[in-house]
């Protein structure tokens, strides 16, 4: 019995995005042109030429630019043509993976979390390139195989978890007034807050920073009591919130003030382990679509980062998709209501997250629900209970 033989060729073309180095001359896999010729001689010497039926290439995963795919397809098509001209009747071309997923919704190549093409465009280019090359050289059309694992699997799974608790930075209650015996630093900060204007935002922020630093120095030297330190913190973050709100509405604002948005979001502690359920978020800064899955008729009144309940400080999500292609450092959320659960969904997690995750911190398996859909609706096929303490 003679085997069916396929050879992976190393294209000079490479992909784009995080896995760009999977293709090109520096690729780990595949035979370059010289090595391919040597392999062909081995086949001829052993009378196995007719067994060589497939060529394969792969230029990376999550390829962001269709132009890179087109370039690779044209190069691979010439391998197909040249091999036929040499007498090798190749029947199959495996064009590998790379078909990306639009995680952030921008349909652009400006970030590594999106793609500037549709599945239809990808298919059109893949088929046309080989059909056109085959027609021009009067050889049979190949059977085209793809290995688009990410695009096939990403949509099949969603992670849902409950918010257990929240933490927020301190703020000064507006109904409170300064007392005569309050510390001078507290009075100075209160005056900054009371007299805050758009024209003086940057100056006011610098003054607030200086006063807070001075208060921390005095506290460390034992010259400031705990109550005063707490008052300074409350006023400092109240000033930061008001400046942040004003600068977000302003057409032009200093970048230093724009960055305040990264300081102020609440922390929402959620019942999951990032390392078990969303390892790519931690390992490669993968952005996933994340939204609350209920109360969608209410405008979110807060912003938050998401913290898992492991003992690792890295167990958090602070990068979120945004419409302009830039990453948001917070998620718009609703205030929690007493005795009412609040759930958040993370979508497009079907590509490799479950298989990559581990039982970090000895967290048990999550609950799993298998759901099928058809034209009439959906049905729950199976419920697999997770593990709990």
3-state secondary structure string across the chain: CCCCEEEEECCCCCCCCCCHHHCCCCCCCCECHHHHHHHHHHHHHCCCHHHEEEEECCCCCCCCCHHHHHHHHHHHHHHHHHHHHCCCCCCEEECCCCCCCCCCCCCCCCCCCCCCCCHHHHHHHHHHHHHHHHHHCCCCCCEEECCCHHHHHHHHCCEEEEEEEEECCCCCCCCCCCCCCCCHHHHHHHHHHHCCCHHHHHHHHHHHHHHHHHHHHHHHCCCCCHHHHHHHHHHHHHHHHHHHHHHHHCCCCCHHHHHHHHCCCEEEEECCCHHHHCHHHHHCCCCCCEEECCCCCCCCCEEEEEECCCCCCCCEECCECCCCCCCECCEEECCCCCCCCCEEEECCCCCCHHHHCCCHHHCCCCCEEEEEEECCEEEEEEEECCCCC
Candidates 3.30.470.10, 3.50.50.60, 1.20.58.930, 3.40.50.300; correct CATH number of 184-262? 1.20.58.930
CATH number of 157-167+265-384: 2.40.37.10
Structure confidence by residue, pLDDT tens digits, 296-340: 999 999 999 999 999 888 999 999 988 766 678 899 999 999 999
For residue 373, give every residue at least 6 positions away whose Cβ sits within 8 Å of its Cβ, in sequence order, or none: 379
CATH number of 5-152: 3.20.20.10
Of the candidates 97, 91, 101, which has an alpha carbon nearest to the alpha carbon of residue 69? Answer: 97
**Who wins on pLDDT, 283 or 18?**
283
**What does the mean pLDDT of the chain come to?**
92
pLDDT digits (tens, 9 = 90+) for 9-54: 999 987 777 777 777 777 788 999 999 999 999 999 999 999 999 9
The pLDDT of residue 134 is above 80: yes
pTM: 0.85
Is residue 4 very low, low, confident or very high in pLDDT (cuts 50, 70, 90)?
Answer: very high
pLDDT band at 120 (very low <50, low <70, confident <90, very high): very high
| Confidence band for 385, pLDDT divided at 50, 70 and 90 | very high
CA gap 101, 118 in Å, rounded = 9
Residue spans in the chain of domains classed CATH 3.20.20.10 = 5-152
Location of each CATH 1.20.58.930 domain in the chain: 184-262
All CATH 2.40.37.10 domain ranges of the chain, comma separated, are 157-167+265-384
Residue 101 has pLDDT above 90, yes or no: yes
- Does the structure show a pLDDT above 90 at 127? yes
């Amino acid at each position: 019995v003679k085997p069916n033989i396929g050879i992976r060729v190393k294209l000079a073309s490479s992909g784009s995005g995080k896995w760009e180095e999977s293709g090109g001359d520096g690729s780990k896999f595949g035979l370059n042109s010289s090595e391919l010729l040597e392999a062909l001689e081995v086949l001829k010497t052993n009378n196995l030429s007719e067994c060589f039926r497939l060529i394969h290439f792969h230029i990376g995963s999550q390829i962001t630019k269709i132009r890179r795919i087109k370039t690779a397809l044209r190069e691979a098509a010439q391998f197909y043509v040249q091999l036929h001209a040499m007498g090798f009747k190749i029947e199959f071309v495996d064009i590998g993976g790379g078909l990306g997923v639009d995680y952030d919704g921008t349909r652009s190549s400006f970030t590594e979390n999106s793609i500037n093409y549709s599945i239809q465009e990808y298919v059109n280019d893949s088929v046309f390139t080989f059909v056109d090359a085959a027609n021009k050289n009067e050889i049979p059309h190949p059977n085209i195989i793809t290995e688009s694992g990410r695009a096939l699997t990403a949509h099949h799974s969603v992670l849902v978890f409950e918010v257990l608790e929240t933490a927020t930075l301190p703020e000064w209650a507006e109904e409170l007034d300064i007392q005569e015996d309050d510390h001078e630093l507290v009075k100075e900060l209160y005056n900054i807050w009371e007299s805050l204007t758009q024209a003086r935002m940057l100056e006011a922020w610098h003054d607030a920073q200086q006063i807070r630093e001075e208060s921390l120095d005095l506290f460390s030297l034992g010259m400031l009591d705990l109550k005063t330190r707490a008052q300074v913190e409350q006023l400092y973050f109240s000033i930061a919130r008001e400046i942040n709100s004003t600068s977000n509405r302003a057409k032009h604002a200093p970048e230093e003030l724009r960055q305040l948005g990264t300081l102020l979001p609440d922390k929402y502690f959620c019942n999951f382990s990032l390392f078990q359920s969303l390892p790519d978020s931690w390992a490669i800064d993968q952005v996933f679509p994340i939204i609350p899955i209920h109360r969608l008729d209410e405008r979110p009144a807060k912003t938050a980062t998401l913290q898992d309940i492991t003992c690792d400080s890295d167990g958090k999500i602070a990068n979120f998709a945004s419409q302009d292609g830039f990453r948001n450092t917070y998620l718009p959320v609703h205030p929690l209501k007493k005795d009412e659960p609040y759930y958040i969904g993370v979508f497009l997690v079907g590509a490799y997250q479950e298989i990559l995750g581990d039982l970090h911190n000895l967290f048990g398996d999550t609950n799993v629900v298998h759901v099928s859909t058809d034209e009439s609706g959906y049905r729950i096929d199976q419920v697999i209970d997770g593990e709990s303490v």
